[in-house]
A and B are shown apart, each in its own frame.
Chain A
Amino acid sequence: MLLLLFRLSFLSFFPSLSLSQHFAPTGTKPHQRISVSLNFKQRKQREEKRRMMMKLDTSGLESFSAAVPSAMAAAEDQLFAPPSFDLPAGCADFDKFQMEAKQTLKHAKGTTTLAFIFNQGVIVAADSRASMGGYISSQSVKKIIEINPYMLGTMAGGAADCQFWHRNLGIKCRLHELANKRRISVTGASKLLANILYSYRGMGLSIGTMIAGWDEKGPGLYYVDSEGGRLKGNRFSVGSGSPYAYGVLDNGYRPDMTVDEAHELARRAIYHATFRDGASGGVVSVYHVGPNGWKKLSGDDVSELHYKYYPVQPTPVEHEMVDAPPA
């Protein structure tokens, strides 16, 4: 697996060493050279894939060059065109190769995040552990991302993916505000994100996020994931620790809780998830989204919470060690 990856990067540095220099069918652009060893069917599949790839929703990555007249944009395209490379020869089944490559890089969504709507708004809570396989890489990851002063997003899955696309969503929300002179609704924001993620479907993004906020219609909560799914709901928990969190959350939930009760419920739910799930831990952060925006309520270390919920009981000593009497 690693060897294949290495070969790929090797070829990208030396594009002229491709095996098919002399075989460039008329009508294809130079960088779309097709390897001789592929048969007709595989060539067609690859062309189709490339055509499908063209339909990416790159509005999130647009720079202002999109507004510039066409001549300048064409020149820019040539200057900043991404480098291209030929597929390694002998890579007969490209789809399988791509899937395997993704699997090696994919982290299972090792985390616990939850959010729920109640009468006083939305509570959003998350742990803060990042793990790579069995290694805990960080205990202090910010998994609740502040998209704008009245909207929060949670992070589960690939950290880079979540952080980038949430910031991108923040940009789009702000642009919407400036253009339309009113804030974007939680519905609209989650739909924007879901549409972008859908267009990248199958390309290895790993995002399981909840968008929580307060807009003109009141509190809003949506679950959006990298498969392109988008669900509206009242209670969600995402991540490897979510079954444990759901148990506590569903048991203690009432729509007419006070903010303090809801805060305690969320904190307890995340704590219990971190207790049982190895990929969750660190610090429990709890946020509350009200009509005036979000406010961070607390950030408690899980190990300290443990002793709060299960204080140490002094146990009677069974066998006391005494000094042997001097003979």
Chain B
Amino acid sequence: MARYDRAITVFSPDGHLFQVEYALEAVRKGNAAVGVRGSDTVVLGVEKKSTPKLQDSRTVRKIVSLDTHIALACAGLKADARVLINRARIECQSHRLTVEDPVTVEYITRYIAGLQQKYTQSGGVRPFGLSTLIVGFDPYSEKPALYQTDPSGTFSAWKANATGRNSNSMREFLEKNYKETSGKETIKLAIRALLEVVESGGKNIEIAVMTHKDGLRQLEEAEIDEYVAEIEAEKAAAEAAKKGGFCFIILY
């Protein structure tokens, strides 16, 4: 097996491309990221690892915009992300220039995935070590969209998804609790999913919300703390209701 993981373009006898799988491992070690699609809002959330005291946290942006109507969050190697994001931004503008139309979310996802795939089939390069969550609104249909790509170059659309660390538990939570939401409910769902795996608090979570009218907006720490407080209160109320009912039965 060790012989088949050196060159990216070599298959192993049982059909694996080991470099791609190792890239997926790198993604699994990256910070958690979650994306939720509502009926009129899309939300991206990222785990923020504690910043060293001397680091200027404003220069570390984990949720970036590719165009006025498209945003991206990723899990994995941040340096690779920078390169991929730059190429995607150029492609967004190039599309506007040649077709006089903004890109659709599907188009730019296809482009990024195609780029990631190209690096799994060339000599002398390694794959990009990141999975991306791409959200946005299609220019004319105004429908929200959420897509995910991975190092192998596959992509698909999702109602809600998570990548990075502990993504499995986040995805399980989303599968159990997803329902069509809009506005604030979508934001709360995303935060609740993140809180499953991240320490609670505004300074450990980064959230960005995109609507068709207002574009991308990063939430302030104070706002996030508010939402977290609301969520905790709801959770406590639910616990109390459960316990209260239980006691009621016992007493009776």
Which residues of A are interface residues toward B (Cβ below 8 A)?
179-182, 184-185, 187-188, 191-192, 195, 216-217
Contacts and interface: CB of A to CB of B under 8 A. Distances in A.
B99 A191 contact: yes
A14 B174 CA distance: 74
Nearest to B99: A188
Nearest to B138: A182
B100 A191 contact: yes
Contact of A187 (B100, B107, B110): B100
Given A185-B99, A188-B98, 10 more contacts: A180-B106, A180-B107, A181-B106, A184-B99, A185-B101, A188-B101, A191-B99, A191-B100, A192-B99, A195-B98
Give the one of A184, A188, A195 with max B CB within 10 A: A188
Contact of B100 (A179, A180, A188, A216): A188
B117 to A, nearest CB: 13
Interface string B167-184: 000000000000000000
B252 interface: no
Interface of B: 98-101, 104, 106-107, 110, 140
Nearest to B100: A187
Contacts of A216: 140
A181 B101 CA distance: 15
Contacts of B104: 180, 182
B16 to A, nearest CB: 21
B98 A187 contact: no
A151 to B, nearest CB: 14
A191 B98 contact: yes
B140 A187 contact: no
B242 to A, nearest CB: 47
A294 to B, nearest CB: 21
Nearest to B103: A180
A233 to B, nearest CB: 15
Contacts of B110: 179
B125 to A, nearest CB: 14
A198 to B, nearest CB: 12
A253 B125 CA distance: 62
Nearest to A176: B99
11 contacts: A180-B104, A180-B106, A185-B99, A185-B100, A185-B101, A187-B99, A187-B101, A191-B98, A191-B100, A192-B98, A195-B98
A216 B99 CA distance: 14
Contacts of A217: 140
Nearest to A182: B104
Contacts of B101: 185, 187-188
Contacts of A182: 104
A58 to B, nearest CB: 16
A287 to B, nearest CB: 24
Nearest to A188: B99
A322 B66 CA distance: 93
Contacts of B98: 188, 191-192, 195
A182 B106 CA distance: 11
A185 B98 CA distance: 12
B224 to A, nearest CB: 36
A316 to B, nearest CB: 64
Contacts of B106: 180-181
Nearest to A194: B98
Contacts of A180: 104, 106-107
A276 B98 CA distance: 40
Nearest to A195: B98
Nearest to B107: A180
A184 B106 CA distance: 15
A180 B106 CA distance: 8
Contacts of A185: 99-101
Nearest to B139: A216
